[in-house]
Amino acid sequence: MSGRVRQRATANANMDAATTTVNERILRECHALYTDETHGMVSIAQNVDLKLLAPRKKITIMLIGNHSAGKSSFINWYIEEHVQRTGVAIETQGFSFVTSGRRRESLTGNATLHLYPHFQPLLDFPGVVDYLQTEVSTSKEKKFPLVTFVDTPGLVDGDMNYPFDVNEAILWLGDLVDMIFVFFDPIGQALCKRTLNIVESLSAKHSERMRFYLSKADEAGHESDRQRVMMQIVQELCKRPTLNRTGFEMPTIFIPNPDKPSRCVNQIEDVCKDIEKTITQTIQNTLNQLEKDCDEIGDLVDSKIARDNEARSHNLRAGTKGILLFFLGLTLPLALLVNLLATSFPQKMLKDLLGLEGMESLKLYLSPIRGFWDSIPQEYHFYALLTLALLTLILLGAAKFLSRSKATMSRKHKKKLLEQQTYVRTVVKDKKQSLYKEYLQQMVSEHDL
Question: What residue number has its CB nearest to ligand GTP?
Answer: 154
* Closer residue to ligand GTP, CB minimum distance, 23 or 73: 73
Q: According to the binding rule CB under 5 A, does residue 91 interact with Mg ion?
A: yes
State the minimum distance, in angstroms, from the CB of residue 279 to ligand GTP: 24
Query: Which residue's CB is nearer to ligand GTP, number 34 or number 78?
Result: 78
What's the rounded Cα separation, in Å, for the pair 142 and 378? 104
Cβ proximity to ligand GTP, 87 vs 397, nearer residue = 87
Contacts 24+ apart (CB under 8 A), 105-110: 105/136, 106/133, 106/134, 106/135, 106/136, 107/133, 107/134, 107/135, 107/136, 108/132, 108/133, 109/133
**154 contacts ligand GTP (rule: CB under 6 A):** yes
| Beta carbon nearer to Mg ion, 56 or 216 | 216
Please name the amino acid found at residue 152: T
Asked if 93 interacts with Mg ion (CB under 5 A), we say: no
CA nearest neighbour of 81 among 101, 61, 54: 101
Which of Mg ion, ligand GTP, none binds 219 (CB below 5-8 Å, type-dependent)?
Answer: ligand GTP
Residues 66-85 that bind ligand GTP (CB under 6 A): 67-73
Q: Does 293 bind ligand GTP (CB under 6 A)?
A: no
438 binds Mg ion, rule: CB under 5 A: no
86 contributes a contact to ligand GTP by CB under 6 A: yes
Which of 159, 207, 201 is CA-nearest to residue 179? Answer: 207
The least CB distance from residue 71 to ligand GTP, in Å, is 4
Return phi, psi of residue 181, to 5°.
-95, 125
Distance CA 406, CA 317 (A): 11
Minimum distance, C-beta of residue 151 to Mg ion, in the bound complex (Å) = 6
Q: Which helix (H) or strand (E) holds 100?
A: strand 95-100
Residue 92 interacts with Mg ion (CB under 5 A): yes or no: yes
Question: Taking CB under 6 A as the rule, does residue 96 contact ligand GTP?
Answer: no
Q: Which amino acid is at 76?
A: N
Task: Lay out the site mask for ligand GTP across 109-148 (x = CB under 6 A, - = otherwise).
Answer: ----------------------------------------
What residues from 254 to 273 belong to the interface with ligand GTP (CB under 6 A)? 254-255
CB of 415 vs ligand GTP, minimal distance in Å: 58
Buried-exposed string 355-394: b where 16+ CB fall within 10 A, e elsewhere: eeeebeeeeeebeebbeebeeeeeeeeeeeeeeeeeebee
Question: Contact letters (x/-) for ligand GTP, 218-237, by CB under 6 A?
Answer: xx------------------
Burial class (CB in 10 A: 0-12, 13-18, 19+), 415: exposed
What residues between 48 and 77 interact with Mg ion by CB under 5 A? Answer: 71-72
Helix (H) or strand (E) holding 212: strand 210-214
CB of 65 to Mg ion, least distance (A): 9
Minimum CB distance to ligand GTP, residue 158 (Å)? 15
Pairing of strands 105-107, 132-137: antiparallel
Q: Are 177 and 209 in contact (CB under 8 A)?
A: yes
Quote the least distance from Cβ 86 to Mg ion, whole Å: 6
163-190 burial by CB neighbour count: b if 16+ within 10 A, else e?
Answer: ebebeebbbbbbeebbbbbbbbbbebbb
Stretch that binds ligand GTP, among 127-135, 216-224, 230-238, 297-305 (CB under 6 A): 216-224
| Chain contacts with ligand GTP (rule: CB under 6 A) | 65, 67-73, 86-88, 90-92, 154, 215-216, 218-219, 254-255
| Chain contacts with Mg ion (rule: CB under 5 A) | 71-72, 91-92
